[in-house]
Amino acid sequence: MPDVAALEELAARTWRGLEEERCGDWLLRAGSGFSGRANSALVLGTPPLPLPDAVGTVQRWYADRGLRPRAQLPGPLAAPADAAFAAAGWTRGEDVLVLTAPLERWPAPEAPVALAPAPDDAWLAGYRYRGAPLPAAARAVLLNATDPLFASVRLAPAPAPLAAVARGVVAEDWLVITAVTVSEGHRRTGLARAAMAALAAAGLDRGARSCLLQVSDDNAPALALYGRLGFTEHHRYHYRLGPAPG
C-alpha cells in the first residue's frame, strides 16, 4: 500500500488544476475556482522557504489569479505546515476521508450504465458539486486527466435528466473514482453502486487492482455504501482557507 504522500500525488494526477506550479515539494494548482482539489496547494514534503514565507508565497500565488488561497493538508506529516497556515490566520475546513479498497467486480443492480470518454451536457447537468450546478470551467477540469471515463445511468429517455453519474481515472494500478452523484428522486436505489461497478469493471480491464475515493466525513449515506464495498480509511486531509483576494 502506498504511503500518504505517494497516494496523494497519484490522486492529484487524476483531478488536476488547469494551471500547476511546484513550490519545492508543494504543488500549487488553479482551475478557475472549480473544486477544492483543483484550486489548492497540495502540501507534501518540504517547501524551498521557511514555512511562514512559504505560506506567504502560496497566498500571493492564488491572489494573483483572483482566487481565494487554499491549502490541502493530508495526514499528520502536514502538521507543521498546518500550524504555519493557522498562525497566518487561515481557517480550517472539514475533514475529508481518503478511502481505499481492493478493486473487484462489484455486484450491482441491473441498470443501464453508459461509459464515455467525455461528459456530455446531460452528464454535466447530473453532477452536482456540493449540491450546486457546475461552473463553466468544470468541463475542462474534469477532462484534464489521462483517459477519464464518465459513467451515466439513464432511466428515462432524453430530455429527462440522468439518474446517476460518476467519473473514474486509472493511474498506475489504481482506479480513482470521483463525482458520484445520484439524482434526488433515485437515491438509495443502488444506482451509485451500479455506476461504480461499471467503472470498476472498466478499471480492471485497464490494469487497475485497487480503488481510491474521497468523501467528507459527514456524508453518512456515502460512507455506508463504501463500507459495504470494502473501503477502509487510509488517511484524512483538510483544507485551510486564506483571506479572500481584495
More confident residue, 218 or 56: 56
15-51 pLDDT, tens digit each = 999 999 999 999 999 999 999 999 999 999 999 999 9
More confident residue, 110 or 18: 18
Confidence (pTM) = 0.93
What CA–CA distance (Å, rounded) separates 212 from 218?
Answer: 18
122-143 pLDDT, tens digit each = 999 999 887 777 898 999 999 9
Q: Are strands 149-153 and 26-30 parallel, antiparallel or unpaired?
A: unpaired
Which residues on neighbouring strands pair with residue 151, listed in sequence order? 115, 166
Superfamily the domain 104-208 falls into = Gcn5-related N-acetyltransferase (GNAT) (3.40.630.30)
Which residues on neighbouring strands pair with residue 129, listed in sequence order? 132
Residue ranges of domains in the chain = 4-96+237-241, 104-208
What CA–CA distance (Å, rounded) separates 75 from 78?
Answer: 6
